[in-house]
Structure 1
Amino acid sequence: MTIAFLLTTLVVAATPGTGAVYSIAAGLSRGTRAGVIAAFGCTLGVIPHMIAAITGLAAILNASAIAFQTIKWLGVAYLLYLAWQTLRDRSALDVEKSAEPVSSWRVIRTAVLINVLNPKLTIFFFAFLPQFVPAGAPDATWQMVWLSLVFMAVTFVVFAIYGAFAAAMRTHVITRPRVMTWLRRTFAATYVLLAGRLAVERA
């Protein structure tokens, strides 16, 4: 494993995307635990893409316009659904008033779906991992598995930091309804922008 791989992985993980946005939203609205759970769920959502890349399914996805478009538009629809849910959610304003907690399973399920419904992540793995595996290496598959696990570990740490930082800031904004309203609108707008970016992407 090279320094170049670690640096590239860190940059990719730290770049704001749907997983980072969801981890921040979870930490801000429900605290550090929710932020870390969201980060864990987003990391689990990487596994299907990792498997697809290693087994060669990414090549099929990349070659099949129908498969790519189907997954892409499912992802777009889900991001728009998250934007709508974020706008109508009022629980963040009632955290200190014993609002009904969201189960860990629901947070993880949403986080997993966010990453699973992102065909670009599979293609990213397909294009990213081979660059750091020597051509013709007898243990190429295991090297790709190891690098993928490192990528997942870095992703979890970065997203967890995002969520924990957001949770630390929540006491400064949670009692300000106007701030929370604008934050909800910002998160919703971000989901819409990410959906738009995904919608115009090509395999």
Structure 2
Amino acid sequence: MIPIDTLAAFLTASILLALAPGPDNIFVLTQSAINGRSAGIFVILGLCTGLIVHSSAVALGVAVIFQRSATAFFILKMIGAGYLAYLAWQAFRASADQIPNESEKDLIPWKLYRRGVIMNITNPKVSIFFLAFLPQFADPLRGPVSMQILFLGGLFIIATLFVFSSIAFLAGSLGQWLNKSDRIQTTLNKIAGTVFLGLALKLATTKQ
């Protein structure tokens, strides 16, 4: 059993890390502003699914591959950068009348969830971060380290859900007001496209 004081320190660090500006929470912010709070939640669920993958990778030792193999790191980050560039291209092309209407909303959840999953799992820096972060709070004397890492990964996901959901709620509320104007809708799409392109460039130029 991990001591309470260790868990408290871990949760505090996790919340602060989730609050720090980064690709994931910026992604949630833009998607929530454009598509609404519920859309932001589906993006968050996708991102957290990706975190489950990264936690499992650390527990199984797979993350070490991305830490030690420049080729594996490069391939994965280029896939992620390419996907973000594709999202940027879609956002730049979109006009106000292409914002999903009521009849199309059944298509939104899966697409947004998928975006979150792909964006998260194609960022090798997340696996390397987890590889450096999670083991610091695990103690071999308290049981299997792999199980402790999975448990800590679950706590990190809970903290992320809390912080990101708050971001989605606030951005979604603002987006509902902004989206009343076709001109503002189009502007939001351009801003989102710029953000996606910036994230793509940042990921593509990230060093191992």
TM-score by length of 2: 0.87
**Does residue 21 of the first structure (1) align with residue 30 of the second (2)?**
no
> What are the residue-to-residue correspondences of 1:114-193 with 2, within 5 Å?
114-193=119-198
> What are the residue-to-residue correspondences of 1:18-167 with 2, within 5 Å?
18-90=23-95, 94=99, 98=102, 100-101=104-105, 102-167=107-172
Contact 1:39 1:160 in 2 (8 A): yes
For 1:192, give the aligned amino acid: L
| Residue segments in structure 2 that go unaligned for 5+ positions in a row | 1-5
Identity of aligned residues (%): 31
Contact 1:93 1:180 in 2 (8 A): no
Find runs of 4+ consecutive structure 1 residues off by over 4 angstroms.
Answer: 91-95
TM-score by length of 1: 0.89
1:105 Cα deviation after fit: 1.4
Contact 1:9 1:151 in 2 (8 A): yes
Count of aligned pairs? 202
Contact 2:138 2:148 in 1 (8 A): yes
Q: Which moved more, 1:131-140 or 1:71-80?
A: 131-140
1:89 Cα deviation after fit: 2.4
Contact 2:134 2:152 in 1 (8 A): yes
1:10 and 1:138 map into 2 onto residues whose CA distance is 26
2:16 to 4, 11, 16: 11
RMSD: 2.1
1:126 and 1:60 map into 2 onto residues whose CA distance is 11
